[in-house]
Structure 1
Amino acid sequence: MDPHPPETDVAAQLIAVAEALLAQAQLFIAGLLRPWNAYQIGIAIAVFLAAHLIAATVRPRMHEWMRTREGWPKWRLRLLVMMHRRIRMIVFVALMWAIVWIMRELTWPSRSYILGIVAELATAWLAIAFATRLIVNPLVRSLVRYGAWAWVTLSILNLTEDAQAALDSVAISFGEMRLSLWILVQAIVMLALLIAAARFVATASAARIRRNDDISPSMQVLAVKVLQMLFYGAAFFLALKLVGVDLTGLAVLSGAIGVGLGFGLQKVVSNLVSGIIILLDKSIKPGDVISLGETFGWINSLGARYVSITTRDGKEYLIPNEDLITGQVVNWSHSNDFVRLDIFFGTAYGDDPHLVRRIAIEAASKTERVLTSRMPVCHIVGFGDSSVDYILRFWISDPTGGLTNIRGNVYLALWDAFKEHDISIPFPQREVRVLEGSQLGTKALD
C-alpha cells in the first residue's frame, strides 16, 4: 500500500506553495513600507480619489451629451457607452501617466518606480476591458478578461516564472500522464480562446447557410448543428493537444464513458438520433403547422433533443424528438400550405336544397382567408330525423392563422346568409300530449 497517497501529496504541495507565496507577500509588504515607496502609494491613492471626483462630475454631463447624438453609427454609440462606464479608469490612467512623466523629469527614476507599475497595470487592465467587450458570450468574456488580467499583472511584476513554477509544482500523476495546475490553466485559456474562435466561425457559417435559398430549412438546421459540433469538438481536442495532454488515454476513457452513457442515457441518445432523422428526411421543418395528440401549433425551432412548438394561445411546448418519430403527426403544411376544412350543418325539409347549396358556397367564398381559386363545395350527406344534412368544404393557404377562427367565421357567414333568405336551421323540439282517459287527463278536465 502506498504510504503517501496522491491526496496527501497534493495537500502537501498546496501547503508548500501557500507558504512560499506568503513569504513573498511579506517581503513585498515590507518593501512597500519604505519611505519613498509608501509616498508613491499615497500619490496613487490620491490620484484615484481625484479620478473618482472628476468622473462623478463628468459622467452625468457626458450622459446628457450622448442622448443628443442621434443618427450616429451603432459602433460609435457602443464605444461611447463603454467609455461612459469606464470614465473613472480612463481619467485615472491619464492622470497617472502625467504624474509619472512629471516625476521622472523632476526626480530620480526610482522615486516613480511603483507609480510606473501602477500606470502600466491600469493601462493594461483598461485595454483588456475594452478588447473583451467584443466577445458576445458572457462566460467566455469573463474567463478571457480575468485570465488576461492575471497574466498581464504577473508579466508586469516579473512574476510569470515564479507563478509558473508554483503552479507546475502542484500536480497529480495518472500512470505516465502528469496533470498539474499549470497545464490546467493553459488548457482553460486555450480552450476559451479556441471556443471563442469556433463560435465566431460557426456563427458566420450559419449566417451564410441561412441566406442560401437553395437549401431547405430542415437541411439548414442540420448543417448548422453539424458545423457547431465539428468546430467545438475540434476546439476542445486541439486545446488539449496544444497543452501536451496525451489523447490516447483520453480516447480509452471516453470509450468507457460512452458505453456507460449508452446504458444510462438511452432516452437522450434516442432523442438525439431522432432529431438527426427528422432533419434528414425533412418530414417537418421550422414554420410547419403540425398536430400531435391534443397539441396544435407551428414549429419554432428544431433542437438536438426536442422540437419547440407554439400554439395559438401563446404556449410553447417542447416535444421530444422521439415522440415525433414514433407517434402519429399531422403536418398541415408538409408538401404545401393548402389545407381543406369541413363543416357540417342542417336545414329544414321545407327549404330547397339546391338553393341551400348555392347560398352556402357563396357565403363561404366571401369569407376572408377562404380561397376562391379552389372554390368551396357543398354536398348533401344524409336525411336526418329533423333536417337535411350538408357538408361544406373549403380551402385555406395560411394554417398558421388558425383553424378554429376560420371555421367560426364561415359558420357566422352561413347564419347571416340563411337569415337573409329565410332558410331555417332546425333544432330538436318535443311535444307532450295528454291522452284522454288517463289519470292526468281526467284531473285536467276536472
Structure 2
Amino acid sequence: MAQGKNAPMFDDVGRWFQSFLHPTVLIELGTLAGCTVLAWLVVSGLRQALHRGDSRSILFGRKVLDGVLFPLTLLGLVYLAQAVLLQWIAVAAFKVAIPVLVALVVIRVGVKVLQAAFPQSPWVRPIERTLSWLAWLAMVLWVTGLLPLVLQDLDDITWKVGGTTMSVRTMIEGLVTAAAVLIATLWISSSIEARFLRSATGSELSVRKALSNATRALLLFVGLITALSVVGIDLTALSVLGGAVGVGIGFGLQKLAANYVSGFVILAERSVRIGDNVRVDGFEGRITDITGRYTLIRSGIGRESIVPNEMLITQRVENFSLADPRVWHSTVVSVAYGSDVDLVMRLLSEAALASERVLREPAPSVSLSAFGADGLEFTVGFWIADPENGLLGLRSQINLAILRSLQVHGIDIPYPQRVVHVVGEQPTTPAAWKNAVPQQTPDLPREGTE
C-alpha cells in the first residue's frame, strides 16, 4: 500500500476492504481458529493439572474462558503465528485480531485483579466499566491507525510546572504506567494472600493475615513510589510532604493511626483471632474478619458489628474461645417435690445428649441447684464446640427432649402455688363466701434473701 507511516488505515477504505477479500485471508482466519482451539486445549490441560477449584483465581477464573490465562495464551500464539505467516504472505486479519486480543487481555487482567483484591467494594464496578471503555477506545484508534496521530497532537499541548515541561501525552502515559504498576502490585499481593490464607485456621490464620496485610502494604508502597518515578515526579520533593503527613498523623489522625497500629498488634499477639467467639462492649458474636482498621464481629442472629481495633486493645474483651473453643451452657428445670431425684437426674442427662451438637466429652452434668418455692430446681449443663451456630435452637431441642422424657415417666413439672388464709369468722352460706375478702399471706423469703 502507498500509505505513509502514520497515515490512517481508513484513508483508503477501498484498499482496506480489498485486503480482506484476498484469498490469503482465509489462511489467516483458519490460523486464528487453530490458535483459538490450541489455546483452549492448553488452558484446559493446565486448569486440570494446576487449578485448585478457587473461583476467585485470577489466572483460571470460574471457567476456561473466564480467567486471564486464556486470552494471554491466545495472544502469544497469535503473535507467533503472525511471525510465521509474514515469511510467505501479507497479513490483514492479524492486524485487527492482535489489537482486539491486547484490549481483551488488558480488560480481563484489570477486572480479575480488582475483583480478587477488593471482592466486595462497591466502587470496583464503575472502575471496571471505565477500564473497558478506555481499552476498546484505544483498540479502535490502534486498528484505524489514528493512535499515533492522536498521541502526536496530545504531545503538542504542553505547559510548564516549575522547571519541568509537561504535556498531555506525558501525563496519559504516566497514568497508564502507574495503573499498570499498581495492577501488577495488587495481583502479586492477592496471590500471596490467597496462598497464605488457603488452609490456615485459628491462631495460624491470624499470623498469616498479619503477614498478608504487611506484604500488601509494602508492595503498594513500592508500586506507588515506582509509579511516581515513572511519571517523572521528583521524589525528593516529597520529603516536605512526608513531614506534613507526619504532623497530621500526630494531631488529626491519632485515632486512625491508633486503629491501624492496633490491628497489627492484634494479629501479631493473637489475643483475638478470626473464628473466636467474643463479647465486646455488650455485643457478642464470632470474629469473621480482621482488617488494618477494624474487626468484624457477626452475632448468632446475623447482626454484624464493626469494632475499631483500638477498642480491642484499650477495653475489656471477653474471648470465649481463646484457650479452648468449647463453650459451656445450661438450662434450668423444676420438678415436683417427692419426685425420684436419681431418676430425674438420669433422664435430664440423657435428654441433653439428644442433640448431636452437645459434646460427649466432657459429658453433660446435672445438679440439684436449689429448693424452689414450687419444686426442685435442676441445672443441666452441657458443652458445645460450635457457638457460632446459635444457642436458641439447641436449647429448645434439649428442653423438648426433657419435656417428653418427664412426661413418659410421669414426673410433674410444678406450676406456682399460693396458700390463702381466711381471717375471722368463716361464712356459712355461699353468698357469704362470695362476699368474703380473702387475705393472702406474703410469700416466705427464699433462701439467701432477707
| TM-score computed with the length of structure 1 as normaliser | 0.67
Aligned in 2, Cα 1:188/1:412: closer, same or farther, shift over 3 Å?
Answer: same
What is the aligned partner in structure 2 of residue 204 from structure 1?
A: 191
Would you say the 8 A contact 1:382–1:389 is kept in 2? yes
What is the aligned partner in structure 1 of residue 432 from structure 2?
A: 442
Aligned-pair distance for 1:209?
2.3
What is the aligned partner in structure 2 of residue 78 from structure 1?
A: 64
Query: How many residues were matched structurally?
Result: 380
2:362 to 355, 365, 374: 374
CA distance in 2, matches of 1:314, 1:408: 19
Q: Quick check: 208-217 or 219-228, which moved more?
A: 208-217
Would you say the 8 A contact 1:274–1:321 is kept in 2? yes
Aligned-pair distance for 1:211?
5.0
**Mapping of residues 82-121 of structure 1, within 5 Å:** none
What is the aligned partner in structure 2 of residue 4 from structure 1?
A: none
User: Does 1:229 pair with 2:217?
Assistant: yes
> 1:333-356, CA deviations, whole angstroms, 9 ceiling, x for partnerless residues?
222221111222222222233433
What is the aligned partner in structure 1 of residue 178 from structure 2?
A: 191
1:399 to 387, 394, 397: 387
Would you say the 8 A contact 2:286–2:298 is kept in 1? yes
Would you say the 8 A contact 2:210–2:268 is kept in 1? yes
CA distance in 1, matches of 2:10, 2:435: 122
> 1:119-168, CA deviations, whole angstroms, 9 ceiling, x for partnerless residues?
67524412313433344236589659946974995799597598368437
**Mapping of residues 36-435 of structure 1, within 5 Å:** 37=12, 39-40=14-15, 78-79=64-65, 122-132=96-106, 133-135=108-110, 136-137=112-113, 139=127, 143=131, 146=134, 150=138, 157=145, 160=148, 163=151, 166-167=154-155, 169-173=157-161, 175-176=162-163, 179-211=166-198, 216-260=204-248, 263-293=251-281, 295-430=283-418
CA distance in 2, matches of 1:81, 1:237: 29
Would you say the 8 A contact 1:129–1:145 is kept in 2? no
What is the aligned partner in structure 2 of residue 16 from structure 1?
A: none
CA distance in 2, matches of 1:292, 1:367: 29
Aligned in 2, Cα 1:331/1:177: closer, same or farther, shift over 3 Å?
Answer: farther
Give the percent of matched residue pairs that are identical in Structure 1 and Structure 2.
29
Aligned in 2, Cα 1:418/1:184: closer, same or farther, shift over 3 Å?
Answer: same
Would you say the 8 A contact 2:276–2:286 is kept in 1? yes
Aligned in 2, Cα 1:172/1:444: closer, same or farther, shift over 3 Å?
Answer: same
CA RMSD for the aligned pairs?
5.0
Aligned in 2, Cα 1:71/1:208: closer, same or farther, shift over 3 Å?
Answer: closer
> 1:74-112, CA deviations, whole angstroms, 9 ceiling, x for partnerless residues?
77973599999xxxxxxxxx9xxx9xx99x8xxxxxxxx
Aligned in 2, Cα 1:162/1:424: closer, same or farther, shift over 3 Å?
Answer: closer
Aligned in 2, Cα 1:354/1:160: closer, same or farther, shift over 3 Å?
Answer: same
| TM-score computed with the length of structure 2 as normaliser | 0.66
Which amino acid in structure 1 is aligned with residue 215 of structure 2?
Answer: L
Is there any run of 5+ residues in structure 1 with no aligned partner, and where? 1-26, 85-93, 105-115
CA distance in 2, matches of 1:379, 1:188: 72
Aligned in 2, Cα 1:381/1:32: closer, same or farther, shift over 3 Å?
Answer: closer
Aligned in 2, Cα 1:262/1:123: closer, same or farther, shift over 3 Å?
Answer: farther
Aligned-pair distance for 1:178?
5.2
Which amino acid in structure 2 is aligned with residue 78 of structure 1?
Answer: V
Aligned-pair distance for 1:217?
0.7
Which amino acid in structure 2 is aligned with residue 282 of structure 1?
Answer: R
CA distance in 2, matches of 1:326, 1:177: 50
Is there any run of 5+ residues in structure 2 with no aligned partner, and where? 1-5, 49-59, 72-80, 115-126, 437-450
More helix by share: 1
CA distance in 2, matches of 1:32, 1:211: 52
